[in-house]
């Protein structure tokens, strides 16, 4: 026997009385005759009218339904087109966009959203959780942070427009912004701001770092100082080292800026390797570095650090095939962090550096209060020099140049002297450098040139005047015009004026200097190369410009007779000059022995204490006469 | 208070006492008959006599297109006053409303029942005019006279005359009188959402930048020949897009084929949203029932049963429902019971407080119920 479901018989509910029954009842009532019978014609007319009405109503409904369907179809087509346009617009947005309904179910996303999350698709109806779970780019924490937004929104309805920024595991920076919608849903806008953030981070980095070496710059150094001051413990000491590279300018000038830059980078690397991680190595500009050393235990430790730095930077650098040797000078200031004033600390370390450099290169020096006195003294010197120029305290002395063969005076070298009202005569070494540093060299140089030309015009025609030019005098480009004016004013024969330049003048803007030298040559003046042998690319300079004279530096002359290397150099230079047709002059001749060697080496002329110190103008002509007399006696 | 409806002959049927208020609703041609009006005035001398024309009268739970229905009321503690204002042009509607309200205004004014001509009136402006003078504390109801599907002449019975260019209002005074209202349509919006793109006042030209007349003609098909009456089959639901919950129904009153305009029984603000509506018999009948229920619920708090019911339903409902029209009155009767004196007419516009806000306004296509009672 098998069992099967059997329909259970139920009593059907009593059907409601159909509307038409009610109508029929009313119609019957209306057709009722006074005697209780029915007026059949009247009843049929009413029934017929009902059929007609029902038919009309059905036709109206059909028509309305059909038209409504047509209209809705057109509206749907329009809406589909609109959706298509919307989709195109949404997909081409820079931001990713995901719309969720009030129940938190995904309504739509644009293509950018899928791209950002690395999704092939996001199914409408999914929850945010499901969407985030399917992204290959999110870590557990970034996804949960995004989800947290939902809770925040649900928790605080006022938190409209909140935004979070996430760093994703793949390195991207993503911002997520949520906007609550009127229907209770929300719109997540997602933007990949990696580039913008990187750029602003880069800008922020650049603002605080040196572009070349990537070391902290002055701004960051100041920030670190401030930070250190905030976090300092009582009695904590720190040191500021100001460091300058020795001979860096020469490297830059001779090997070019790219090599100079590479050297700075290499120096930076060495410096960083020498300090502890919490110390700060900063580049303040040019070849100036500073090192903030924290938690200093003793001066001795700092001294050791300074020595290590100097040792390390003195080791040769191999850069682009060049073997480069530089050095470093360091100024140090150590203070208790409690009493630190950043500006003062940097200034004092700088003063110490100045002292270190003035004591010869490759030194370090701790700041002492007397350095402040020295700095003050120098400021006074500047003021005095400006005054001296105005009140004509400068004078020119002349050192004779003697032709070695004939002992005739062939010229004088003009040398500036400062008649200080209180300190008496100040030699050029004590003020020329300062003049160069404070921009007075142009005016002092002009004074010397004008005065020398005027004085030389009174000398015999066979006597020339040699005037030193500072490298800085070439900078303005007006030197040829100034020389021309001096010649014009004095009436001196241009062939009697000899302008002496050092090699260093040739090093910077060589082309510009050579151009001005050629202009000077065209005026008819002679050009000599001063201090020859102490510079670097001597021979190329001699080749690049037709010098009339080369002056052999006194350091070689001084060692003649005692140092064979010096003799070799003097011999090489005089030989070179002889073969190139250039006159040679030896400077700093002090002994007869030196003179005899120069005679033997066929040097053309000489100057030095052996013949005469620099003398005032009044003594020049008598000296010429005396030498002339000596010469005739010898003859 | 007593009330009684007479739907036979005034000569043969009598009220139980001399009435204070007599309301007469009848076919236009009957109300245009001054001799008839004179007879009424003579018979009910001493009562306020008012009323209006219509294509279909309500008499209890039945309708009648030909008969005159008279509703008499006698009050024990309530003072009545009649105000009449000329209304020859719909542009004067606001002023006429304000004039009526000024005429009736009084500290003891409890309610106003209005009967206006049905063709030269902007019902919205008329109501706004009344509200401007008496505010929203005085309950206000009534309707615009009708003329069936003809739309050619409407009459208002007042001060012994039967002009087609006035509006009349009865003021009910004192704290014994009770008035309750209910208004509902039962129409359902259908088809696409539209925007009123071209309109001025109550004149509509464009929906969604298309001629509105063409839209009506398309939907009506061959019945377009019967415009404007057939336009009642498709009222418009309109609303301010800023207040989507506050919707009103507008019914078509007139068309101008030359100008391509449709005139509705109320303002058609440009920029408002609109949807066509249509009535399913059962929905309309349910609407009438709920209007009665709303009024009855208010009356249930009076402590006295309502004595009279004025049922004003829209002519559009009559046109659509045909012989089934009486079913909406049967529905009203079922709610209110057989004892109440129920009379009314099919109008060109209904006036009553909104069910939700109680702010009086012009309704279209509704069944509007006004219940009147008096506490002892």
**Per-residue model confidence as pLDDT tens digits over A400-451:** 999 998 889 999 999 999 998 888 888 888 888 888 877 788 888 999 999 9
**Mean pLDDT value across residues B229-237:** 89
Residue A70 lies in a domain: no
Peptide bond into B228 cis (omega under 30): yes
Please check whether residues A185 and A223 belong to one and the same domain: no
Please check whether residues A188 and A304 belong to one and the same domain: no
pLDDT at A1 over 50: no
DSSP annotation of A11: P
* Residue finishing a domain among A304, A333, A367: A367
Q: Does the CB of B218 have a partner CB in chain A at under 8 Å?
A: yes
Q: Are residues B68 and B59 in contact, defined by beta-carbon separation less than 8 angstroms?
A: no
Q: Which of A72, A77, A127, A133 is nearest to A102 (CA)?
A: A127
Q: Does the CB of B208 have a partner CB in chain A at under 8 Å?
A: no
Q: Does the CB of B191 have a partner CB in chain A at under 8 Å?
A: yes
Q: Does the CB of B322 have a partner CB in chain A at under 8 Å?
A: yes
Q: Which of A106, A107, A140, A136 is nearest to A119 (CA)?
A: A136
Q: Does the CB of A72 have a partner CB in chain B at under 8 Å?
A: yes
Interface of B with A in 262-321 (CB under 8 A): 278, 281-282, 320
Instruction: Give the separation between CA A568 and CA A601, rounded to whole angstroms.
Output: 10
Residue A464, phi then psi, degrees to nearest 5: -95, 170
Q: Does the CB of A63 have a partner CB in chain B at under 8 Å?
A: yes
Query: Number of folded domains in chain A?
Result: 3
pLDDT for res B341: 95
* Residue finishing a domain among A169, A197, A225: A197
Closest-CA distance of chain B to residue A36, Å: 20
Q: In which band, very low, low, confident or very high, does the pLDDT at A15 lie, cut at 50, 70 and 90?
A: low
Please check whether residues A111 and A223 belong to one and the same domain: no
Beta bridge partners of B85: B167
Q: Are residues A352 and A371 in contact, defined by beta-carbon separation less than 8 angstroms?
A: yes
Residues A60, B323: C-beta atoms closer than 8 Å = no
Which residue range is the domain that position A262 belongs to? Answer: 209-367
Residue A204 lies in a domain: no
Please check whether residues A601 and A491 belong to one and the same domain: yes
Residues B323, A46: C-beta atoms closer than 8 Å = yes
CATH number at residue A577: 3.20.20.450
Q: Are residues B338 and B370 in contact, defined by beta-carbon separation less than 8 angstroms?
A: no
For residue B88, give every residue at least 6 positions away whose Cβ sits within 8 Å of its Cβ, in sequence order, or none. Answer: B120, B165
Residues A49, B323: C-beta atoms closer than 8 Å = yes
pLDDT for res A474: 87
Closest-CA distance of chain B to residue A62, Å: 10
Identify the H or E element spanning B309.
strand B308-314
**Residues across chain A:** 635
* Residue of chain A whose Cα is closest to the Cα of B222: A60
Please tell me whether residue B46 adopts helix, strand or coil conformation: coil
Please check whether residues A263 and A285 belong to one and the same domain: yes
**Mean pLDDT value across residues A506-515:** 79
Q: What is the mean pLDDT of chain A?
A: 86
pLDDT for res A4: 42
**Mean pLDDT value across residues A361-377:** 85
Instruction: Give the separation between CA B275 and CA B263, rounded to whole angstroms.
Output: 16
Q: Does the CB of A69 have a partner CB in chain B at under 8 Å?
A: no
Please check whether residues A469 and A361 belong to one and the same domain: no
Closest-CA distance of chain B to residue A180, Å: 19
pLDDT in tens, B125-184: 999 999 999 988 889 999 999 999 888 999 999 999 999 999 999 999 999 999 999 999
Chain B hits for A72, CB-CB cut-off 8 Å, are 191-192
Instruction: Give the separation between CA A166 and CA A214, rounded to whole angstroms.
Output: 27
Please check whether residues A406 and A332 belong to one and the same domain: no
Residue A359 lies in a domain: yes
CATH number at residue A242: 3.30.70.270
Return the C-alpha torsion angle A77, A82, A87, A92, nearest 10: 140
Q: Does the CB of B65 have a partner CB in chain A at under 8 Å?
A: no
Residues B323, A27: C-beta atoms closer than 8 Å = yes
Please tell me whether residue A386 adopts helix, strand or coil conformation: helix
Q: How far is CA A562 from the centre of its chain?
A: 51
Residues B323, A26: C-beta atoms closer than 8 Å = yes
Residue A307 lies in a domain: yes
- CB A517: neighbour CB atoms within 10 A? 24
- CA–CA distance from A327 to each of A54, A292, A519 (Å)? 114, 20, 38
Residues A72, B192: C-beta atoms closer than 8 Å = yes
Please check whether residues A111 and A260 belong to one and the same domain: no
Please check whether residues A277 and A423 belong to one and the same domain: no
In this structure, of A301-305, A505-509, A601-605, the range with the lowest mean pLDDT score is A505-509
pLDDT for res A2: 36
In terms of pLDDT, which residue wins out, B366 or A13?
Answer: B366
Q: Which of B294, B196, B213 is nearest to B248 (CA)?
A: B196
Q: Using CA of residue A414, residue A419, residue A425, residue A429, what is the dihedral sign?
A: negative
Please check whether residues A603 and A497 belong to one and the same domain: yes
pLDDT for res A3: 39
pLDDT in tens, A64-84: 889 988 988 888 898 888 888
Q: In which band, very low, low, confident or very high, does the pLDDT at A618 lie, cut at 50, 70 and 90?
A: very high
Q: For B322, which of A27, A53, A61 is closest by C-beta distance?
A: A53
pLDDT at B11 over 50: yes
pLDDT at A186 over 90: no
* Residue finishing a domain among A197, A221, A251: A197
Q: Which of A482, A397, A388, A479 is nearest to A435 (CA)?
A: A388
- CA–CA distance from B372 to each of A68, A104, B17, B62, B333 (Å)? 43, 53, 18, 20, 15
Residue A617 lies in a domain: yes
Q: For B192, which of A63, A64, A75 is closest by C-beta distance?
A: A75
pLDDT at A332 over 70: yes
Closest-CA distance of chain A to residue B188, Å: 13
pLDDT at A537 over 70: no
pLDDT at A271 over 70: yes
Share of chain A above pLDDT 70, in %: 93
Q: Are residues A305 and A218 in contact, defined by beta-carbon separation less than 8 angstroms?
A: no
Interface of A with B in 348-387 (CB under 8 A): none
Q: Which of A516, A500, A498, A520 is nearest to A508 (CA)?
A: A516
Q: Does the CB of A77 have a partner CB in chain B at under 8 Å?
A: no
Chain B hits for A75, CB-CB cut-off 8 Å, are 192
Q: Which of A574, A581, A582, A580 is nearest to A533 (CA)?
A: A574
Q: In what order do the strands lie in the sheet with B156-157?
A: B2-6, B69-74, B21-26, B48-53, B156-157
**Mean pLDDT value across residues A498-516:** 83
Pinpoint the alpha helices (H) of A422-563: 432-438, 441-456, 479-490, 503-507, 510-523, 538-544, 554-558
Give burial (CB, 10 Å; 0-12/13-18/19+) of A573.
Answer: buried
Please check whether residues A482 and A607 belong to one and the same domain: yes
Complete DSSP assignment for B227-286: TTGGGGGS-EEEE-TT-TT-EEEE-EEEEETTTTEEEESS---TT-EEEEEE--HHHHHH
pLDDT for res A560: 87
Q: Are residues A550 and A570 in contact, defined by beta-carbon separation less than 8 angstroms?
A: no
Residue A269 lies in a domain: yes
Which of A45-59, A94-108, B13-27, B247-261 reaches the highest mean pLDDT? B13-27
Q: In which band, very low, low, confident or very high, does the pLDDT at A7 lie, cut at 50, 70 and 90?
A: very low
**Mean pLDDT value across residues A559-571:** 87
**Mean pLDDT value across residues A323-349:** 91
Q: For B326, which of A26, A49, A57 is closest by C-beta distance?
A: A26
Chain A hits for B229, CB-CB cut-off 8 Å, are none
Identify the H or E element spanning B188.
strand B188-200
**Which residue has tokens 């003809």?**
B150
pLDDT in tens, A120-175: 988 899 988 888 888 888 777 777 776 765 565 444 434 555 677 888 888 888 88
Q: What is the mean pLDDT of chain B?
A: 92
pLDDT for res A382: 83
For residue B95, give every residue at least 6 positions away whose Cβ sits within 8 Å of its Cβ, in sequence order, or none. Answer: B85, B129
Please tell me whether residue A627 adopts helix, strand or coil conformation: helix
DSSP annotation of B302: S
pLDDT for res A6: 45
Identify the H or E element spanning A274.
helix A257-274
CA atoms within 13 A on the CB side of B55: 21
pLDDT at A307 over 50: yes
CA atoms within 13 A on the CB side of A329: 19
Instruction: Give the separation between CA A430 and CA A527, rounded to whole angstroms.
Output: 26
- CB A242: neighbour CB atoms within 10 A? 26
Q: In which band, very low, low, confident or very high, does the pLDDT at A513 lie, cut at 50, 70 and 90?
A: confident
pLDDT at B10 over 90: no
Pairing label, strands B109-116, B139-144:
parallel
Residue A548 lies in a domain: yes
In this structure, of A127-141, A286-300, A333-347, the range with the lowest mean pLDDT score is A127-141
Residue A563 lies in a domain: yes
- CA–CA distance from B97 to each of A414, B37, B81, B121, B140 (Å)? 118, 25, 15, 10, 12
Q: Are residues B366 and B185 in contact, defined by beta-carbon separation less than 8 angstroms?
A: yes
pLDDT for res A14: 57
**Mean pLDDT value across residues A497-515:** 83
Q: How far is CA A559 from the centre of its chain?
A: 46
Residues A67, B218: C-beta atoms closer than 8 Å = yes
Q: Does the CB of A580 have a partner CB in chain B at under 8 Å?
A: no
Please check whether residues A188 and A238 belong to one and the same domain: no
Please tell me whether residue A233 adopts helix, strand or coil conformation: coil
Closest-CA distance of chain B to residue A66, Å: 9
pLDDT at A619 over 70: yes
Residue B349, phi then psi, degrees to nearest 5: 160, 140
Complete DSSP assignment for A301-316: HHHHHHHHHHHHHHS-
Residues B190, A64: C-beta atoms closer than 8 Å = yes
């Amino acid at each position: 026997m098998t069992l099967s479901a059997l329909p259970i018989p139920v009593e059907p509910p009593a059907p409601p009385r159909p509307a038409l029954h009610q109508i029929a009842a009313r119609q019957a009532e209306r057709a009722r005759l006074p005697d209780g019978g029915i007026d059949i014609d009247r009843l049929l007319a009413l029934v017929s009218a009902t059929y007609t009405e029902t038919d009309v109503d059905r036709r109206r409904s059909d028509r309305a339904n059909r038209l409504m369907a047509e209209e809705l179809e057109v509206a749907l087509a329009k809406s589909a087109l609109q959706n298509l346009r919307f989709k195109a617009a949404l997909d081409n947005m820079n931001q990713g966009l995901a719309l969720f309904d009030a129940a938190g179910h995904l309504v739509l996303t644009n293509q950018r959203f899928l791209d950002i999350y690395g999704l092939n698709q996001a199914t409408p109806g999914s929850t945010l959780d499901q969407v985030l779970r399917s992204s290959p780019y999110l870590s557990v924490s970034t996804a949960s942070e995004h989800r947290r937004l939902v809770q925040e929104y649900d928790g605080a309805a006022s938190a409209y427009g909140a935004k979070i920024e996430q760093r994703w595991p793949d390195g991207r920076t993503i911002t997520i912004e949520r906007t609550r919608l009127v229907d209770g849903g929300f719109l997540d806008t997602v933007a990949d701001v990696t580039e913008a953030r990187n750029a602003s981070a880069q800008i922020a980095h650049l603002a605080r770092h040196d572009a070349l070496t990537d070391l902290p710059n002055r701004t960051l150094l100041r920030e670190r100082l401030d930070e250190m001051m905030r976090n300092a413990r009582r009695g904590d000491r720190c040191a500021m080292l100001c460091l300058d590279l020795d001979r860096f300018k020469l490297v830059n000038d001779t090997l070019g800026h790219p090599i100079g830059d590479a050297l700075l980078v290499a120096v930076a690397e060495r410096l960083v390797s020498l300090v502890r991680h919490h110390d700060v190595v900063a580049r303040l500009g040019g070849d100036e570095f500073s090192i903030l050393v924290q938690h200093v235990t003793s001066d001795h430790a700092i001294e050791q650090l300074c020595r290590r730095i100097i040792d390390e930077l003195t080791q040769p650098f191999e850069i682009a095939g060049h073997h480069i040797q530089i050095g470093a000078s360091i100024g140090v200031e150590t203070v208790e962090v409690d009493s630190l004033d950043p500006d003062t600390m940097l200034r004092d370390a700088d003063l110490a550096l100045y002292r270190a450099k003035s004591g010869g290169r490759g030194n370090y020096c701790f700041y002492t209060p007397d350095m402040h006195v020295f700095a003050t003294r120098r400021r006074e010197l500047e003021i005095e020099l400006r005054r001296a120029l105005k009140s004509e305290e400068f004078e020119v002395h002349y050192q004779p140049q003697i032709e070695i063969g004939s002992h005739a005076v062939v010229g004088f070298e003009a040398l500036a002297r400062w008649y200080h009202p209180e300190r008496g005569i100040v030699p050029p070494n004590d003020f020329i450098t300062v003049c160069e540093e404070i921009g007075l060299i142009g005016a002092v140089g002009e004074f010397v040139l004008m005065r020398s030309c005027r004085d030389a015009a009174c000398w015999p025609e066979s006597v020339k005047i040699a005037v030193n030019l500072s490298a800085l005098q070439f900078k303005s480009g007006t030197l040829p015009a100034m020389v021309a004016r001096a010649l014009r004013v004095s009436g001196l024969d241009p062939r009697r004026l000899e302008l002496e330049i050092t090699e260093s003048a040739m090093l910077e803007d060589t082309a510009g200097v050579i151009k001005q030298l050629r202009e000077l040559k065209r005026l008819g003046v002679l050009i000599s190369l001063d201090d020859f042998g102490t510079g670097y690319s001597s021979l190329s300079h001699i080749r690049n410009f037709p010098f009339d004279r080369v002056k052999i530096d006194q350091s070689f002359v001084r060692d003649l007779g005692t140092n064979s290397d010096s003799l070799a150099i003097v011999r090489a230079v005089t030989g070179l000059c002889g073969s190139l047709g250039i006159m040679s002059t030896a400077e700093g001749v002090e002994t007869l022995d030196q003179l005899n060697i120069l005679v033997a080496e066929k040097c053309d002329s000489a100057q030095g204490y052996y013949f005469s110190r620099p003398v005032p103008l009044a003594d020049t002509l008598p000296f010429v006469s005396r030498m002339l007399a000596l010469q005739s006696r010898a003859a | 208070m007593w009330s009684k409806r007479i739907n036979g002959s005034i000569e043969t049927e009598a009220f139980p006492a001399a009435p204070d208020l007599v309301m007469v609703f009848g076919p236009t041609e009957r109300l245009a008959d001054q001799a008839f009006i004179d007879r009424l005035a003579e018979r009910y001398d001493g009562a306020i006599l008012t009323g209006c024309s219509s294509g279909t009268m309500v008499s209890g739970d039945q309708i009648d297109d030909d008969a005159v229905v008279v509703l008499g009321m006698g009050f024990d503690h309530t003072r009545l006053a009649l105000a009449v204002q000329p209304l020859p042009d719909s542009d004067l509607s606001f002023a006429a409303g304000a004039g009526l309200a000024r005429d009736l205004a009084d500290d003891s004014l409890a309610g106003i029942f209005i009967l206006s001509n049905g063709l030269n009136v902007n019902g919205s402006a008329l109501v706004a005019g009344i509200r401007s003078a008496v505010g929203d504390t005085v309950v206000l109801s009534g309707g615009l006279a009708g003329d069936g599907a003809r739309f050619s002449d409407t009459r208002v019975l007042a001060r012994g005359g039967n002009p087609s260019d006035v509006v009349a209002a009865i003021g009910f005074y004192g704290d014994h009188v009770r008035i309750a209202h209910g208004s509902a349509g039962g129409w359902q919006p259908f088809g696409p959402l539209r925007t009123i793109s071209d309109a001025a006042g109550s004149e509509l030209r464009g929906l969604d930048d298309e001629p509105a007349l063409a839209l009506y003609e398309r939907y009506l098909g061959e019945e377009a020949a019967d415009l404007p009456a057939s336009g009642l089959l498709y009222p418009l639901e309109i609303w301010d897009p800023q207040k989507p919950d506050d919707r009103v129904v507008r019914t078509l009153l007139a068309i101008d084929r030359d100008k391509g305009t449709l005139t509705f029984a109320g303002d058609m603000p440009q920029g408002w949203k609109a949807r066509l509506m249509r009535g399913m018999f059962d929905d309309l009948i349910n609407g009438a029932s709920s209007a009665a229920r709303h009024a009855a619920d208010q009356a249930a708090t009076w402590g006295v049963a309502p004595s009279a019911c004025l049922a004003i339903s829209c002519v559009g409902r009559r046109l659509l429902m045909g012989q089934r029209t009486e079913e909406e009155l049967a529905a009203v009767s079922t709610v209110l019971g057989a004892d109440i004196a129920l009379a009314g007419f099919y109008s060109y516009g209904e006036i009553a407080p909104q069910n939700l806000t109680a702010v009086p306004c012009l309704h279209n296509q509704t069944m509007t119920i006004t219940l009147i009672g008096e506490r002892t």
